[in-house]
Amino acid sequence: MDIEVMVEGEGLTEVETIRIPEGSVAREIAKVVAVKGGFPVEEAILFIEDCEEPIDLAVVVVEEEVGGRVHHVHRARRIDVAVFYQSRQIDKRFAPSTRVQRVLDWAVGPDGFKIDPAIAPEMELALHGQTTALPKNAHIGRYIRHPHHELAFDLIRGIVPNGASL
Amino acid sequence: MNGDSPSEKAVAADLASPRFRVGVKRGHWRQVSYAFPVLIVAVLAIEPDSSSSEYSFRFELTGFPGTAPEVKIWDCATDALLPTGKRLKGSNRVAEAFKSWGSETVYRPWDRHGGTHNNWATAHPVLAWHPKRDLAFVLEDLHGLLTSNAAAHGNRQAA
């Protein structure tokens, strides 16, 4: 029996599903994604979505534990994130498995730009210098490749009708 | 329909895609029913008071994916359009998306009717429908809108 694992990672543009043999160790997940992403498995670090610390690659994968969780494989342990908004910049370090949503929550929140709660639901993140809102469930690690560990976003307002962006 | 039409195959492929299934596993949406060409999906929402709820959407998928889905906010209990007063309240973007208007579909550029209204899709191609889009694209946009109230309360755990 195989175990299905949902993965994102360096070199992947979307969430994907992979299958590994039952009884495999976590290194097998890292290996499959590293091959897909085009980097050496020896450099791969495995995370669970929105978790800051990597997983021990020697642990045995248990289906009940991986079934509902998206994993992330990257060569960077941390990514230095900068967010720009109205000529201001804030910075924070995140794991590559962090969802765009988490970065957005920080950017609009009390530790970020302190966006008015009435406006905060309108906000989105785009790659710096671009205007397309990023998918909120994407892991930030998909937007950067080792050895680059710095990622910049713009805080923008989402699209509303009548041809305007608020 | 015999189940082998290109549209039915395309819908089946989308429902089996990793992005669709990840959304289900995350609890962001769930398939309520499907009998081509009608798919009903319930999507997680955050109310203005930060409580969790869900809203159902009726996808009419004739001609999919060459033809954009027609998506209506739906009341499964009555099998009819959800009355305006029962729809999610929130920011201007939420109000506009789920307002009552001529075609009574969700007012977004990817919708079959919304996209052609007031140049909506042409003005915003990043949200417009095209045949390479999938159902998860629509559901991700709906989930983002429906849970956007969390940003006003810091209630992201529920979203």
What does the mean pLDDT of chain B come to? Answer: 92
Region B84-99 average pLDDT: 94
User: Residue B153 and residue A117: Cβ atoms within 8 Å?
Assistant: yes
If DSSP codes are grouped into helix, strand and coil, which group holds residue A30? Answer: helix
Query: What is the per-residue pLDDT for B159?
Result: 58
State the first-to-last Cα distance of chain B, in angstroms, to the nearest integer. Answer: 37
Give percent of chain B with pLDDT exceeding 70: 94
**Confidence band, pLDDT 50/70/90 cuts, at residue A63:** confident
> Out of A82-91, B31-40, B56-65, B116-125, which region has the weakest mean confidence (pLDDT)?
B116-125
Query: What is the per-residue pLDDT for A165?
Result: 45
Region B41-47 average pLDDT: 97
Strand order of the β-sheet with B38-46 is B29-35, B38-46, B52-60, B70-75, B80-81
Region B111-115 average pLDDT: 94
Query: Above 90 in pLDDT, residue A159?
Result: no
Query: What is the per-residue pLDDT for B123?
Result: 86
Please check whether residue B124 touches A, CB under 8 A: yes
User: Residue A14 and residue B18: Cβ atoms within 8 Å?
Assistant: yes
Closest alpha carbon within chain B to A111? B154
Question: In angstroms, rounded to a whole number, what is the distance separating the alpha carbons of residues A12 and A9?
Answer: 5
Q: Cα separations (Å) of A129 from A125, A137, A145, A155, B79?
A: 11, 21, 18, 10, 45
Please provide the DSSP assignment of A84-125 as one string. EETTEEEEEEE-TT-BHHHHHHHHHSTTTT---TTTGGGEEE
Q: What's CA B9's distance to the chain center, in Å?
A: 20
Q: Could you give the count of Cα atoms lying within 13 Å of A62 in the half-sphere of its Cβ?
A: 3
Question: In angstroms, rounded to a whole number, what is the distance separating the alpha carbons of residues A74 and A17?
Answer: 16
Query: What is the per-residue pLDDT for A65?
Result: 78
**Confidence band, pLDDT 50/70/90 cuts, at residue A163:** very low
Query: Above 50 in pLDDT, residue A164?
Result: no
> Out of A44-58, A64-78, B6-20, which region has the weakest mean confidence (pLDDT)?
A64-78
Question: In angstroms, rounded to a whole number, what is the distance separating the alpha carbons of residues A149 and B126?
Answer: 27
Residues 40-69 of B with CB under 8 A from A: none
Residues A49, A99 contacting (CB under 8 angstroms): yes
Q: Cα separations (Å) of B95 from A3, A35, B23, B100?
A: 42, 45, 24, 9
Query: Above 80 in pLDDT, residue A122?
Result: yes
Query: Above 60 in pLDDT, residue B7?
Result: yes
Question: In angstroms, rounded to a whole number, what is the distance separating the alpha carbons of residues B159 and B146?
Answer: 9
User: Residue B90 and residue A163: Cβ atoms within 8 Å?
Assistant: no
Please check whether residue B35 touches A, CB under 8 A: no
Whole-prediction pTM: 0.89
Please provide the DSSP assignment of B83-119 as one string. PGGGSPP-SHHHHHHT---TT-S--STTSTTGGGGGG
Question: In angstroms, rounded to a whole number, what is the distance separating the alpha carbons of residues B106 and A44?
Answer: 43
Q: What is the pLDDT of residues B135-145, one digit of tens each?
A: 999 999 999 99
Query: What is the per-residue pLDDT for B155?
Result: 52
Query: Above 90 in pLDDT, residue A68?
Result: no
